[in-house]
Amino acid sequence: MSEESEGELEARLPEGESFEPPESFVEQANVTDESIYEEFEENWPDCWERAADLLDWEASYDQVLEDGDAPFYEWFADGTLNASYNCLDRHVEDGRGDEAAIEWVGEPTDETRTYTYQELLDEVQEFAAALRALGVEEDDVVTLYMPMIPELPVAMLACARIGAPHSVVFAGFSADALATRMNSADSEYLVTCDGYYRRGDPLNHKDKADDGLGSVDHGVETVVVDRLGDELEHDLGDRQRGYDELVGEHAGATVDPVTRDAEDMLFLMYTSGTTGKPKGVKHTTGGYLSYVAWTSHAVLDVKPEDTYWCSADIGWITGHSYIVYGPLALGTSTVMYEGTPDYPEKDRLWEIVDDYDVTQLYTAPTAIRAFMKWGEDYPARHDLSSLRLLGTVGEPINPRAWKWYYKHIGDESCPVVDTWWQTETGGMMITTLPGVGDMKPGSAGPPLPGVSANVVDTNGDDVEPGKAGYLTVDKPWPGMLRTLYHNDDRFIDEYWEEYSDEAAGEWVYFPEDGAKIDDDGYITVLGRVDDVINVSGHRLGTMELESAIVGVEGVAEAAVVGGDHDIKGEAVYAYAITEDGYEGDDDLRERVVEGVEDAIGPIARPEAVIFSPELPKTRSGKIMRRLLEDIANGDELGNTSTLRNPEVVDDIAGKVSDD
Ligand code: PRX
């Protein structure tokens, strides 16, 4: 057990802030040859056949990339395949039916389930048959509002099998958020559950689902998984069926995988953007699946014999791509954990790594910061020597947290891949290849082979190394979103308008992140430059938050900004002006917090609600958010002379420091 302090650790690690991939890793890595960068560049876009080759196609495609209608690109068009066949049947046909597909670990320490590939295939077929019997047809959107229980990936793959796109809504989202997404997608089917465990207590989920259904503007058939049994009784209402009973009715069913075109929608995933309405990101069958299989192979180094663990929630894109589709397409064993890292004790993750001999761990910087705070004794209690690779995703990781992870979890013998990507990109875009490139803590790394990313100024010209600019991507990639559901105009506006030269046919994707690049082409992502806050790696739109707050009786106006937070990265700071006749007191503060939880969910809970008679505004009436951020962070305040009402600033700052 190491007793080393943080300071000593930093001192021990090389000064140059660059780490070579450990030799033991390189010896066995899936990708080790540096020439892959050149090869992909010279051979672009055909290089992406290498990703498509990881899948089994029913009919092969004619063309890798069709760009005639850019930026509505098509990948592997005319090729046909089925995602569930690729994630299940083909592994069973290869004689691997008895190997573990999903290792599910419940929050209660005595509850685990292993699904072999054969068992998973059987249940997926039974549930696919059940969905069909309920009326689900090809291209119907099925909403899955479920926590981390095995029936979630079963339902995803059952949808994929019958060509019905799924739309997973994170279980922590509120009833309102569920209804908004079901209405937006015209989704007439819902799969949900009675509840799940959180830190030892059963948590009712179905009440929230029922509340949401109350605000859906069309009829819905609902399936309810009984996760909690006697711990939480629940009733089934009209047009609601129990999962077990339904699956029982279709015991032993076989359902042939439906032939899907490469460009057919595999799923929708809603994410936050600049405006108040969440965006329905559309991902396709061929390009997306090829891309997540390829990046799982090249970056996460996944091999069939591994026990790989991504600790994200399947309700977010990370779980879709790197718990379900990527790992299962490659036929590995993927771990799924229901609970939180601190239950029953703060070593739960390390206990799971130890028990299952986990080979790769992919988690978020917010979790690593919490582990650091809890201290190195927790991981030191367990044998973590099975680990071969570590990964992070979701937000920038500071070098201190990176080094802590590298040393205390990876024992300095696992490469750390800091992977930059987004819901929209489908899979990883910027990261080192762990068997090839040196790692620089705090910097994600170069763009992956075949990915063309740059850091530019507002004119779109490359910025000098070391200077901050905007991240752009000037070539398409197979995992990219194809559009925003039923909203092609918004797709262009949000992602392509800023830097493209439409007349010249040059399309440049703008992810709305700031970044800098160094002399070696390594990119450090600095965070969002739009009105999105990244709380614990989760994207929250300030407009969505503000509209929730002004929906509270007694609030006239609101502005929300992200303030620095030790563990969460950013936290929600809400500034609100009260309506005449209302006091900015604890009662109203409580109602603001509830308003946010009802509209979005507990993840969006404000860290502080500050009432003020006015918000700082420019002469043209724009709220000075930067100033509100400085106030939230306790930073020195910048120039206030351009304000129409500079006098409010000291007043607000005083209130924040009083809190
Ligand atoms: O700001 C970037 C940040 O997370 C945003 C994407 O959020 P979301 O669509 O929810 O997907 C998260 C999981 C892929 C990005 O625009 N982000 C993601 N990964 C990193 C990151 N920022 C810095 N470094 C990363 N590795």
Q: How far is the CA of 395 from the centre of ligand 1 (A)?
A: 5
Q: Quick one: average pLDDT of 425-440?
A: 98
Cα–ligand 1 centroid distance for 97 (angstroms): 35
- Closest atom of ligand 1 to CA, residue 392: 26
Residue 10 has pLDDT above 50, yes or no: no
Q: Which fold has domain 532-658?
A: GMP Synthetase; Chain A, domain 3 (3.30.300)
Q: What is the mean pLDDT of residues 459-481?
A: 96
Instruction: Tell me how crowded residue 54 is: count the other CB atoms within 10 A of its CB.
Output: 19
Beta-sheet pairing, 307-310 with 100-105: unpaired
| pLDDT given for residue 58 in this prediction | 98
| Domain 74-409 identical in fold to domain 532-658 | no
According to the model, what pLDDT value does residue 609 have? 96
pLDDT tens-digit series, residues 188-238? 999 999 999 999 999 999 999 999 999 999 999 999 999 999 999 999 999
Half-sphere exposure of 477 (CA within 13 A, CB side): 30
Q: What is the pLDDT of residues 150-193, one digit of tens each?
A: 999 999 999 999 999 999 999 999 999 999 999 999 999 999 99
> Is 402's C-beta closer than 6 angstroms to any atom of ligand 1?
no
Q: Which two tokens stand for residue 175?
A: 């009833």
DSSP H/E element including 565: strand 555-565
Residue 16 has pLDDT above 60, yes or no: no
Mean pLDDT, the chain, as a whole number? Answer: 94
Is 619 a residue whose pLDDT tops 90?
Answer: no
| Predicted pLDDT at 638 | 75
Residue 97 has pLDDT above 90, yes or no: yes
- Tokens 């709380």, residue located: 535
The mean per-residue pLDDT over the stretch 19-31 comes to: 97
Q: Separation of 50 CA from ligand 1 center, angstroms?
A: 26
Has domain 74-409 been given CATH number 1.10.540.10? no
User: Is 313 a pocket residue for ligand 1 (Cβ < 6 Å)?
Assistant: no
Q: What percent of the chain has pLDDT over 70?
A: 97
Ligand 1 atom with the shortest distance to the CA of 525: 23
Phi, psi of 456 (to 5 degrees): -125, 165
pLDDT of residue 646 exceeding 90: no
The alpha carbon of 524 and the centre of ligand 1 are apart by a number of angstroms equal to: 12
165 Cα: distance to centroid of ligand 1 (angstroms): 24
What is the pLDDT averaged over residues 633-651? 84
Q: What is the pLDDT of residue 658?
A: 65
pLDDT in tens, 118-128: 999 999 999 99
Check pocket membership of 562 for ligand 1, CB cut-off 6 A: no
CB 569 within 8 A of CB 365: yes
Q: What is the pLDDT of residues 37-49, one digit of tens each?
A: 999 999 999 999 9
Tracing tokens 């992956």 back to the chain, one arrives at 448
In the prediction, which pLDDT does 635 show? 86
Confidence of residue 15 (pLDDT cuts 50, 70, 90): very low
Q: Is the CB of 649 under 6 A from ligand 1?
A: no
- Predicted local distance difference test score (pLDDT) of residue 36: 98
pLDDT tens-digit series, residues 599-617: 999 999 999 999 998 999 8
Ligand 1 pocket test, candidate residues 170, 395, 536, most atoms within 8 A of CB? 395
Residue 145 has pLDDT above 70, yes or no: yes
What's the CA-to-centroid distance between 394 and ligand 1, angstroms? 4
pLDDT one-digit tens code per residue, 573-597: 999 999 999 999 999 999 999 999 9
Whole-number pLDDT of residue 277 = 85
Percent of the chain with pLDDT over 90: 89
Q: pLDDT tens-digit profile of 481-523?
A: 999 999 999 999 999 999 999 999 999 999 999 999 999 999 9
pLDDT at 659: 60
Strand ranges, E, within 154-291: 166-168, 189-193, 195-198, 201-204, 221-225, 240-242, 260-261, 265-271, 279-284
- When pLDDT is averaged across residues 446-460 and rounded to a whole number, the result is 97
What is the domain partition of the chain in residue ranges?
74-409, 532-658
Q: Is the CB of 362 under 6 A from ligand 1?
A: no
CB 174 within 8 A of CB 197: no
Decide if 602 contacts 172 (C-beta within 8 A).
yes
Distance (angstroms) between ligand 1 centre and the Cα of 428 equals 10
Retrieve residue 643's tokens: 């304000």
Average pLDDT over residues 136-142: 98
Ligand 1 atom with the smallest distance to the CA of 511 is: 16
- Mutating to test ligand 1, I would choose from 283, 313, 325, 393 the residue with most ligand atoms within 8 A of its C-beta, which is 393
User: Residue 14 has what pLDDT?
Assistant: 45
SS3 413: coil
Residue 8 has pLDDT above 60, yes or no: no
Give the global pTM: 0.94
Name the nearest CA neighbour of 577 among 647, 642, 644, 652.
652
Nearest atom in ligand 1 to 539's CA: 10
